């Protein structure tokens, strides 16, 4: 009968109680104690330790050896980057699910961002947070953010080259270049309008602060600007002043100040429904000239505009202007019929008196025409 037996994991000699006698059992016990003192839980030297039997509560040194046969490394996600100081240098970790690296120089390097590699030669440095620069595949646009709020970042660069964003046009290689002039003395802000103009064909103006505003409206018209000449075609101009310019085929309406002897071709300027004659002399006249013309019939009825014949009798006709001239007008009259004559007197800024005579020089009713030209009062 056996007086001792070996254990299955460490081959310890175990005496059978009541069978193995001294001093043999003592010798077997001493051998077993020696094996226990040197066991390391390797194969044949004790049962291997499972994860449930391990409680790592401090850094675990590998003594300059590799961790081999790892399936993966599962990191604890940090809420913020770990300062790159000892002992946290030359180490990898995760912030917000992104991979970070602290190098020996104290740099915190974000390696990934939104599913892409974030670092590398020629990459953007000093980004304020992971994902500060992203690409939106839906809009095919790069997005630059200053904070994760987001507050969009400013851009500071040289010439902008714009190309067609969709399928490339023909011929290929075309682009639009936007750049600052090389003679720029200092920087300034160029602020665009806060809204689209309320009407079509609106010119943009720039103020002294660099603010762009919606200003002059040209509706259904053509505006041509050449050397010392402004040509406006089929255009209604309101409250405008046109100086030293040529206006071709234009309609001028409502309170237009014309200065510097402009040439108006092909159209009749009007003011308050009345034809306007522009002074085309170079004598510095303060007003343009106005003309009133008409035909007075023998019975006192009249045709024309800008005057009335309130009374007549015995060949005497009083012609009254609807709007007085600014100064004494020049009045020219002509009478129908070879044997008749006409005399004009009492000329004033508001009218004149004409008397028609027959062949015997006796006052008698007869048709006559007149033209009155003088300075406009308004």
Segments making up each domain of the chain, as ranges = 1-51, 71-179, 189-213, 222-267, 289-375
- Reported as half-sphere exposure (CB side, CA atoms, 13 A), residue 204 has a value of 12
For the chain, the average pLDDT equals: 80
Spatial separation of the C-alpha atoms in residues 50 and 41, rounded to whole Å: 11
346 close to 271: Cβ distance less than 8 angstroms: no
CA distance 75 to 112: 14
Residue 258 structure tokens: 């014309």
* Rounded distance between C-alpha atoms, residue 212 and residue 204, angstroms: 6
Question: Is the pLDDT at 148 greater than 50, yes or no?
Answer: yes
pLDDT in tens, 80-111: 999 999 999 999 999 999 999 999 999 999 98
Cis peptide before 195 (omega within 30 of 0): no
Cis bond upstream, residue 150 (ω within 30)? yes
What pLDDT was estimated at residue 227? Answer: 47
Domain 289-375 falls in which CATH fold? Immunoglobulin-like (2.60.40)
- Per-residue pLDDT tens digits for 103-143: 999 999 998 888 888 755 667 778 888 788 888 888 888 99
Lowest mean pLDDT among 29-38, 279-288, 329-338: 279-288
In this prediction, residue 274 has a pLDDT band, given cuts at 50, 70 and 90, of low
pLDDT at 295: 93
Q: What's residue 150's pLDDT?
A: 82
Model pTM?
A: 0.36
pLDDT band at 10 (very low <50, low <70, confident <90, very high): confident
Distant-in-sequence, close-in-space partners of 201: CB < 8 Å, separation ≥ 6: 217, 218, 219, 220, 221
What is the pLDDT at residue 223? 55
Distance between CA atoms of residues 89 and 82, nearest Å = 9
> What is the structure's pLDDT at 349?
95
pLDDT of residue 354: 92
- Label residue 179 by pLDDT band (50, 70, 90): very high
* Helix and strand numbers, DSSP H then E, in the chain: 1, 33
Separation of alpha carbons 110 and 99, rounded Å: 6
- If 0-12 CB within 10 Å is exposed, 13-18 middle and 19+ buried, where does residue 94 land? middle
* Residue 25 parent element (H or E): helix 24-38
Name the E strands within 305-365. Answer: 307-313, 316-321, 330-335, 341-348, 351-357
pLDDT tens digits for range 209-259: 888 887 666 555 555 554 445 555 555 555 445 555 555 555 544 444 555
Backbone φ and ψ for 204, nearest 5 degrees, come out as -100, 135
| Residue 275 near residue 268 (C-beta atoms within 8 A) | yes
């Amino acid at each position: 009968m056996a007086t001792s037996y070996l254990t299955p994991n460490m081959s310890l000699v175990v005496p059978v109680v009541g069978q193995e006698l001294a001093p043999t059992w003592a010798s077997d016990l001493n051998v077993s104690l020696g094996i226990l003192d040197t066991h390391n839980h390797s194969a044949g030297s004790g049962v291997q330790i499972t994860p449930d039997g391990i409680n790592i509560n401090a850094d675990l040194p590998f003594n300059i050896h590799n961790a081999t046969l790892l399936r993966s490394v599962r990191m604890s996600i940090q809420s913020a980057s770990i300062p790159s100081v000892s002992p946290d240098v030359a180490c990898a970790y995760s912030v917000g699910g992104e991979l970070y690296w602290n190098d020996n120089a104290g740099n915190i390097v974000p390696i990934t961002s939104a599913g892409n590699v974030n670092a590398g030669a020629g990459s953007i440095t000093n980004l304020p947070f992971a994902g500060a620069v992203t690409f939106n595949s839906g809009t095919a646009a790069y997005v630059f953010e200053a904070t994760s709020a987001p507050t969009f970042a400013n851009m500071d660069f040289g010439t902008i080259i714009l190309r067609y964003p969709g399928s490339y046009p023909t011929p290929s290689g075309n682009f639009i270049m936007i750049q600052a002039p090389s003679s720029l003395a200092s920087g300034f802000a160029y602020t665009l309008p806060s809204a689209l103009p309320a009407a079509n064909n609106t010119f943009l103006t720039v103020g002294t602060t660099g603010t762009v505003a919606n200003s002059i409206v040209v509706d259904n018209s053509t505006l041509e600007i050449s050397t010392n000449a402004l040509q406006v075609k089929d255009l209604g101009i309101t409250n405008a002043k046109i100086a030293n310019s040529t206006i071709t085929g234009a309609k001028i309406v409502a309170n237009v100040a014309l200065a510097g002897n402009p040439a108006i071709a092909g159209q009749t300027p009007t003011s308050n429904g009345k034809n306007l004659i522009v002074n085309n002399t170079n004598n510095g006249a303060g007003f343009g000239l106005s003309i009133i013309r008409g035909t007075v019939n023998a019975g006192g009825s009249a045709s024309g505009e800008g005057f009335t014949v309130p009374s007549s009798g015995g060949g005497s006709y009083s012609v009254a202007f609807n709007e007085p001239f600014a100064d004494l007008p020049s009045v020219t009259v002509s009478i129908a019929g070879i044997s008749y004559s006409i005399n004009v007197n009492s000329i004033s800024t508001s009218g004149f008196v004409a008397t028609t005579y027959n062949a015997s020089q006796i006052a008698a009713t007869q048709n006559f025409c007149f033209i009155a030209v003088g300075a406009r009062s308004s």
